[in-house]
Amino acid sequence: MNRVIKVLKPVGSGRKGIDRGRALVAGGAGFLGSHLCERLLADGYEVIALDNFHTGKRYNLAGIARDAAFTCVKHDVVDTLPMDLAVDEIYNLACPASPPHYQADPIHTFKTSVLGSINLLELARRHNAKIFQASTSEVYGDPLVHPQPEGYFGNVNTHGPRACYDEGKRSAETLFFDYSRTYGIDVRVARIFNTYGPRMQPDDGRVVSNFIVQALRGDDITVYGSGTQTRSFCYVDDLIEGFVRLMQAPAAPNHPVNLGNPGEFTIMELAELVLDYTNSRSRIVHRPLPVDDPRQRKPDISFARHHLGWEPRIALSEGLAHTTAYFEALLGGRQPIAPRSGRQAVRAAVMS
């Protein structure tokens, strides 16, 4: 059932310094969504997070829940939107991102990407709002071109267990650019490569959170397959900066834009780094490689570098240290997300 957690307020009510308009973040209680909501509040937006809390958590929003410019609405984007809100910007991050989560109910995952995108695109159309889509490096499938530039069309299995996510996101890209061509909507599509950081769930199932949590608990580190497959890991703060730059770019690129860290690591290298950073005595064990697991992945970010002036700044070592500190607090029963002390404080932190 849909439930409005806080009664929606008129734009800017009870809050000084809101001057950027109203942004809707679908998937706002998730890992990336909660960081994005904080950033948008700090930048002067009124923010509405829309989430079905499938993989997102209320405690991700603990730092901003009391902010007068923030509202959270429980809703599944597959269903007709619960309100016809005048919004200036829409960010569509709603979709489980971890393979075990998106494969648990593949039909709903596919509907989330397709019907969710249509519902949000229709909202954008009604209000002439700019709209952002969180697409993914998974659109390249098991890539035959390395590193992957945006012009590469990919190598995706259309009927395997990852297809509900990969093909759902590919369809969403199609919808975004068709809405742009048909109705003149301003769309911004980011292809996100593996991103990690605080607020991933301990049971998320993705590799960075799995390895850190296993290492901190002294459990075996589960490397799937030989561990020679590669990924390129981007720290969340770098990615959010990329989102904002893509959304604020004066002209909308007429294609998706890769956002990720080009530093490429094998999964074995990651396991060893995590063991070092956590000082853990966990053992590395091997488990079967999931079906269709991509063998290599590394973004070509030339477009983002040249046109958005963006590139990641946070090295894997630094990002792992922040993420490990977060999980240490969480697993130790401490509240890892402190409430923000006020808008100006948040703003100052972002601008410094």
What does the binding site for ligand UDP look like in residue numbers (CB under 6 A)?
Answer: 98-99, 194, 206-207, 210, 222-224, 229, 231, 267, 290, 293
Joined together, the tokens standing for residue 2 give: 């849909």
Q: Determine if 30 is a binding residue for ligand NAD (CB under 6 A).
A: yes
Q: Which stretch binds ligand NAD (CB under 6 A): 6-14, 71-79, 173-181, 242-250?
A: 71-79
Q: Determine if 63 is a binding residue for ligand NAD (CB under 6 A).
A: no
Measure the CA–CA gap between 68 and 323, rounded to whole angstroms.
Answer: 29
Q: Quick one: which of 15, 44, 53, 145 contacts ligand NAD (CB under 6 A)?
A: 53
Residue 148 exposed, middle or buried by CB count within 10 Å (0-12, 13-18, 19+): buried
Query: Contact at 8 Å (CB) between 239 and 201?
Result: no
Q: Determine if 316 is a binding residue for ligand NAD (CB under 6 A).
A: no
Q: Determine if 299 is a binding residue for ligand NAD (CB under 6 A).
A: no
Instruction: Supply the minimum distance, in Å, between the C-beta of residue 25 and ligand UDP.
Output: 22
Active-site annotation holds for 165: yes
How many residues contact ligand NAD, by CB under 6 A?
28
Q: Angle 123-94-248 (CA atoms, 0-180°, nearest 5)? A: 65
Q: Which is nearer to ligand UDP, 62 or 331 (CB)?
A: 331
Q: Determine if 134 is a binding residue for ligand NAD (CB under 6 A).
A: yes
CB under 5 to 8 A by kind: which of ligand UDP, ligand NAD, none does 293 bind?
ligand UDP
Query: Which one is catalytic: 140, 165, 179, 196?
Result: 165
Q: Which is nearer to ligand UDP, 37 or 156 (CB)?
A: 156
> Closest by alpha carbon to 343, among 9, 10, 15, 6?
15
Q: Which is nearer to ligand UDP, 143 or 242 (CB)?
A: 143
Please tell me the total number of residues recorded for the chain in this structure.
Answer: 352
Using CB under 6 A as the binding rule, the residues of this chain from 81 to 100 that contact ligand NAD are 93-97
Query: Contact at 8 Å (CB) between 252 and 246?
Result: no
Measure the CA–CA gap between 202 and 205, rounded to whole angstroms.
Answer: 8
Q: Which is nearer to ligand UDP, 176 or 196 (CB)?
A: 196
Long-range CB pairs of 15-21, under 8 A, 24+ apart, other chains included = 15/46, 15/67, 15/68, 15/69, 15/343, 16/343, 17/44, 17/343, 17/344, 17/347, 18/44, 18/45, 18/46, 18/69, 19/44, 20/44, 20/45, 20/88, 21/45, 21/46, 21/87, 21/88, 21/89
SS3 state at 193: coil
Q: Determine if 73 is a binding residue for ligand NAD (CB under 6 A).
A: no
Q: Which residues pair with 222 in a beta bridge?
A: 285
Query: Contact at 8 Å (CB) between 75 and 81?
Result: yes
Q: Which is nearer to ligand UDP, 179 or 327 (CB)?
A: 327
Q: Determine if 119 is a binding residue for ligand NAD (CB under 6 A).
A: no
Would you tell me which residues interact with ligand NAD (CB under 6 A)?
Answer: 26-27, 29-33, 51-56, 76-78, 93-97, 112, 116, 134, 136, 192, 194-195
Catalytic residues: 165
